[in-house]
Structure 1
Amino acid sequence: MRIVVDADKCVAAGQCVAAAMDVFDQNDQDGTVVLLDQNPPPELAEDVRNAAAVCPALAISIEE
Protein backbone atom coordinates (compact mmCIF):
# COMPACT_ATOMS: atom_id res chain seq x y z
CA MET A 1 0.00 0.00 0.00
CA ARG A 2 1.27 3.43 -0.98
CA ILE A 3 -0.55 6.63 -0.04
CA VAL A 4 -0.58 9.80 -2.10
CA VAL A 5 -2.10 13.04 -0.82
CA ASP A 6 -2.96 16.17 -2.77
CA ALA A 7 -2.53 19.00 -0.29
CA ASP A 8 -3.92 21.44 -2.86
CA LYS A 9 -7.30 19.66 -2.70
CA CYS A 10 -7.31 19.40 1.09
CA VAL A 11 -9.95 21.48 2.90
CA ALA A 12 -8.43 20.90 6.36
CA ALA A 13 -11.42 18.99 7.73
CA GLY A 14 -9.19 16.67 9.78
CA GLN A 15 -11.19 13.53 9.05
CA CYS A 16 -8.05 11.70 7.93
CA VAL A 17 -6.34 12.37 11.26
CA ALA A 18 -9.38 11.17 13.17
CA ALA A 19 -9.42 7.95 11.11
CA ALA A 20 -5.68 7.21 11.01
CA MET A 21 -3.63 9.39 13.34
CA ASP A 22 -0.53 7.24 12.90
CA VAL A 23 -0.49 8.01 9.17
CA PHE A 24 -1.89 11.55 8.85
CA ASP A 25 -1.46 14.85 10.66
CA GLN A 26 -2.41 18.44 9.97
CA ASN A 27 -0.17 21.39 9.14
CA ASP A 28 -0.03 23.80 12.08
CA GLN A 29 -0.33 26.85 9.83
CA ASP A 30 -3.29 26.03 7.61
CA GLY A 31 -4.60 22.66 8.79
CA THR A 32 -3.94 20.85 5.52
CA VAL A 33 -3.00 17.21 5.47
CA VAL A 34 0.52 16.05 6.34
CA LEU A 35 1.41 12.49 5.38
CA LEU A 36 3.43 10.86 8.16
CA ASP A 37 3.88 7.44 6.54
CA GLN A 38 3.65 6.95 2.78
CA ASN A 39 3.87 3.14 3.15
CA PRO A 40 2.08 2.23 6.37
CA PRO A 41 2.18 -1.30 7.78
CA PRO A 42 -0.60 -3.73 6.84
CA GLU A 43 -2.26 -3.45 10.24
CA LEU A 44 -3.13 0.20 9.44
CA ALA A 45 -4.60 -0.54 6.00
CA GLU A 46 -8.23 -0.50 7.14
CA ASP A 47 -7.77 2.83 8.94
CA VAL A 48 -6.09 4.34 5.88
CA ARG A 49 -8.87 3.15 3.56
CA ASN A 50 -11.40 4.67 5.95
CA ALA A 51 -9.50 7.96 6.00
CA ALA A 52 -9.54 8.11 2.20
CA ALA A 53 -13.25 7.31 2.15
CA VAL A 54 -14.22 10.03 4.63
CA CYS A 55 -12.05 12.77 3.11
CA PRO A 56 -14.56 15.40 1.91
CA ALA A 57 -12.12 16.72 -0.71
CA LEU A 58 -11.01 13.29 -1.99
CA ALA A 59 -7.42 14.40 -1.41
CA ILE A 60 -6.16 10.92 -0.46
CA SER A 61 -5.32 8.24 -3.01
CA ILE A 62 -4.25 4.68 -2.27
CA GLU A 63 -2.11 2.62 -4.60
CA GLU A 64 -2.26 -1.08 -3.80
Structure 2
Amino acid sequence: MRVTVDQPKCVASGQCVMLAPDVFDQDDDGIVELLTDTPDAAHHDDVKESAAVCPAAAIHLADK
Protein backbone atom coordinates (compact mmCIF):
# COMPACT_ATOMS: atom_id res chain seq x y z
CA MET A 1 0.00 0.00 0.00
CA ARG A 2 1.16 3.51 -0.83
CA VAL A 3 -0.38 6.47 1.00
CA THR A 4 -0.45 10.07 -0.14
CA VAL A 5 -2.11 13.06 1.48
CA ASP A 6 -3.42 16.27 -0.04
CA GLN A 7 -2.40 18.73 2.66
CA PRO A 8 -4.21 21.74 1.12
CA LYS A 9 -7.50 19.77 1.34
CA CYS A 10 -6.98 18.78 4.98
CA VAL A 11 -9.48 20.32 7.42
CA ALA A 12 -7.52 19.30 10.53
CA SER A 13 -10.17 16.98 11.98
CA GLY A 14 -7.51 14.60 13.34
CA GLN A 15 -9.48 11.43 12.58
CA CYS A 16 -6.49 9.89 10.80
CA VAL A 17 -4.15 10.53 13.72
CA MET A 18 -6.56 8.94 16.18
CA LEU A 19 -6.99 5.85 13.99
CA ALA A 20 -3.42 5.39 12.73
CA PRO A 21 -0.95 7.37 14.87
CA ASP A 22 2.01 5.41 13.51
CA VAL A 23 1.22 6.62 10.00
CA PHE A 24 -0.27 10.11 10.44
CA ASP A 25 0.53 13.14 12.58
CA GLN A 26 -0.53 16.78 12.58
CA ASP A 27 1.54 19.94 12.35
CA ASP A 28 1.03 22.91 14.69
CA ASP A 29 -1.95 24.04 12.60
CA GLY A 30 -3.55 20.60 12.71
CA ILE A 31 -2.78 19.75 9.09
CA VAL A 32 -2.04 16.10 8.37
CA GLU A 33 1.57 14.98 8.10
CA LEU A 34 2.47 11.59 6.69
CA LEU A 35 4.97 9.69 8.81
CA THR A 36 5.37 6.87 6.27
CA ASP A 37 3.98 6.49 2.77
CA THR A 38 4.36 2.69 2.85
CA PRO A 39 2.93 1.48 6.16
CA ASP A 40 3.43 -2.06 7.42
CA ALA A 41 0.64 -4.53 6.69
CA ALA A 42 -0.33 -4.40 10.36
CA HIS A 43 -1.48 -0.80 9.83
CA HIS A 44 -3.37 -1.26 6.55
CA ASP A 45 -6.83 -1.63 8.09
CA ASP A 46 -6.38 1.50 10.21
CA VAL A 47 -5.08 3.47 7.22
CA LYS A 48 -8.03 2.33 5.08
CA GLU A 49 -10.43 3.41 7.81
CA SER A 50 -8.63 6.75 8.10
CA ALA A 51 -9.09 7.37 4.39
CA ALA A 52 -12.76 6.35 4.58
CA VAL A 53 -13.61 8.70 7.46
CA CYS A 54 -11.52 11.69 6.36
CA PRO A 55 -14.08 14.51 5.99
CA ALA A 56 -11.99 16.24 3.33
CA ALA A 57 -11.08 13.07 1.39
CA ALA A 58 -7.45 14.18 1.71
CA ILE A 59 -6.00 10.67 2.13
CA HIS A 60 -5.36 8.63 -1.00
CA LEU A 61 -4.42 4.95 -1.14
CA ALA A 62 -2.88 2.99 -3.99
CA ASP A 63 -1.51 -0.48 -4.46
CA LYS A 64 2.25 -0.52 -4.14
Task: Please state if 1:7 is matched with 2:7.
Answer: yes
Partner of 1:41: 40
- 4+ residue stretches of structure 1 with deviation over 3 A? none
Partner of 1:51: 50
RMSD over equivalenced CA pairs, Å: 0.5
Following the alignment from structure 2 to structure 1, what is the Cα–Cα distance between the partners of residues 10 and 51?
A: 12
Question: What is the SS of the residue equivalent to 2:8?
Answer: coil
Please report the TM-score for the alignment, with normalisation by the length of structure 1. Answer: 0.96
| Cα deviation, residue 38, structure 1 | 0.5
Please report the TM-score for the alignment, with normalisation by the length of structure 2. Answer: 0.96
Following the alignment from structure 1 to structure 2, what is the Cα–Cα distance between the partners of residues 23 and 41?
A: 9
Partner of 1:24: 24
Equivalenced residue count is 63
Q: Where does the alignment leave 5 or more consecutive residues of structure 1 unmatched?
A: none
Q: Sequence identity, in percent?
A: 56
Q: Where does the alignment leave 5 or more consecutive residues of structure 2 unmatched?
A: none
